[in-house]
Amino acid sequence: MKDLIPPFDFEQVMVAPWTTGLEGTIWIVLMGALVGIACGIIGNFLLLRRMALVGDAISHSILLGLILAFLIFRNAGTGVMFLGALLSGVATVAIIEFIHKQSRVKIDAAICIAFTTLFAIGVTLVSAAETAGPVHIDAECVLYGEIGFVIFEPPAKLGNVVLGPTSVVRMAIVTLLLLAAVILFYKELVITSFDGGLAKAMGMRTGLWHYGLMVALSLVVVSAFESVGAVLAVAMLIVPAMFGSQLSNRLPVRLVLTSLHAIVSAVLGYHLAIWLECSIAGAMVVVGSLLFVAAWFGTMAAARWHHSVSKAEQTGRQTPDSLPMTHS
């Protein structure tokens, strides 16, 4: 057991990455932060629509889309990837709704059935392909990715300018597009998430927005897939957004907090992974979870302190009648 945790060498864990290993560190941390920011922003809307576990479902079923696209087109280029992801994302949601509407199976079971089946088919295809010949995706990668591989990738170029590793550049583009879309369509996203009935009564096509969000989700997840894998993508969707929602009641503030959370988790997570010599993406999520727990306990403590302070004040004077009641 004592061999498990390597000794903590401050120089090696905290300093070296920023000096000798700088280039690798930059790309890895940047990738982690971008994944966290993109997933976190979409995750906020998933949480508001209570669709966190649909996000979980899509992150798993995307594997099938990827492997099918790869097998059909025989190449693993970006366009092919995106196509596979998009189709599997839409197919998953369509299947869930089909099962739910056409039978008495409830929505939670429908979600579970849809994504596990698609995922199972995907894993089997991957394993069969693995034994049959060399394949771009491997089974372990599916689960937790290997974010460290970004530094080995061929760089993406714009003309003669080397931008950086391909997947990082891709992720950056996806993140920027997502940010632009959220800013542009902010009010539509808010109203369809908050009061779908009113939105529909005003003539908005709520179904379209729903599927649009699913498409964006699929594209973000597929871009993150190789680095963090299926299940950790789910973590990135949920944990940063929960951090933001725990600390703020205002959506714009939540989005900013989510992004900060993603950046901090990426940096600290990388250090943790260097120290423990473990999965980098896993470490990033662990740090992120600890940040949420800190926020959780912090808000509980703050509430308790606030409560004891106001109780102390109340013993001095009468409570006015017109104080609004807190919604419980």
Residue 1: both structure tokens together: 């057991």
Q: What is the DSSP letter of 14?
A: I
Residue 115 Rama label (left phi>0; alpha psi -120 to 50; beta): alpha
Of the candidates 25, 32, 14, the one whose C-alpha atom is nearest the C-alpha of residue 288 is 32
CB of 74 to another protein, least distance (A): 23
Q: Would you say 26 or 231 has its CB closer to another protein?
A: 231
Return the number of the residue (166 or 289) whose C-beta is nearest another protein. 289
Minimum CB separation of residue 149 from another protein in Å reads 14
Entry field: residues in the chain: 328
Nearest CB to another protein, comparing residues 5 and 72: 5
The residue ranges of DSSP E strands in 129-245, in sequence order, are 155-158, 161-165
- To another protein, the closest distance from the beta carbon of 172 in angstroms equals 23
User: The tokens of 237 are what?
Assistant: 């969707």
Smallest separation, CB 161 to another protein (Å):
32
CB of 15 to another protein, least distance (A): 22
- By beta-carbon proximity to another protein, the closer residue of 160 and 326 is 326
- Of 269, 177, 186, 225, nearest to 60 by C-alpha is 225
d(CA 62, CA 83): 11
Q: Which is nearer to another protein, 154 or 197 (CB)?
A: 197
Six token digits for residue 234: 């789910």
Nearest CB to another protein, comparing residues 163 and 263: 263
Shortest spacing between CB 163 and another protein, in angstroms: 29
DSSP 33-83: HHHHHHHHHHHHHHHHTT-HHHHHHHHHHHHHHHHHHHHHHS---HHHHHH
Q: In whole angstroms, what is the distance from residue 58 CA to residue 224 CA?
A: 13
